[in-house]
Amino acid sequence: MIPSEYLGTQHRLLVLDLEFKCSERKKRSVGDPRVKWWNLTKENVRNLSERITEAGAWRQAEDADVMWDTMLECIQRSGKKILGTYSRGGYKMKGSWWWNDEVVEKVKEKKRSYAVFMNSGMDEEKEMTRVRYKAIKKATNSKV
């Protein structure tokens, strides 16, 4: 607290240094593998029901909660085995079906011509490189 003559005798000026620490955002983690339930076909349903029946998880427990948990585990294990699994999350770029070697080369050429354009010194040279860059950019955009 800092005493001051401009404030009343019962008031003191308070100075505070405050620092906020923000936690960094966590990346999405890739979770447990999930069952591809959409793969249920007539044959897969038959295989799944046979496998669950053979396991007979409901016969092993007398308590309803324990029986529920064992059946859940049995169904999930059988589903993973028969239907397959997939991983959720990740940072795969969806919709990049059009990105191929030809596009990569065009983008590299465009970047090179832009660098030449930016590094050119005189006005005449700059104008020529600008025209060349625009032509390459137009060709690249039409390919993509």
Residue 78 has pLDDT above 70, yes or no: yes
- Whose tokens are 């505070």? That residue is 16
Alpha-helical segments (H) within the chain: 42-55, 64-83, 101-119, 123-143
pLDDT at 114: 83
pTM summary value: 0.40
Per-residue pLDDT of 14-52, as tens digits, reads 777 878 777 776 655 566 788 888 888 899 899 988 988
Question: Among candidates 54, 49, 57, 86, which has minimal Cα distance to 74?
Answer: 57
Return the structure tokens found at 96. 């990049």
DSSP 23: P
Question: Among candidates 73, 75, 86, 85, which has minimal Cα distance to 45?
Answer: 75
pLDDT at 54: 86
Per-residue pLDDT of 79-134, as tens digits, reads 899 998 887 665 555 566 777 888 889 889 888 888 887 787 777 777 778 888 88
Q: Which residue has the higher pLDDT, 94 or 144?
A: 94
pLDDT at 11: 66
Q: Which residue has the higher pLDDT, 72 or 5?
A: 72
Question: Among candidates 88, 51, 89, 46, which has minimal Cα distance to 73?
Answer: 51
Domain ranges of the chain: 34-86, 101-143
Residue type, 122: M
**CA 62 – CA 87 distance, rounded (Å):** 35
Q: Give the Cβ contact number of residue 61 at 10 Å.
A: 14
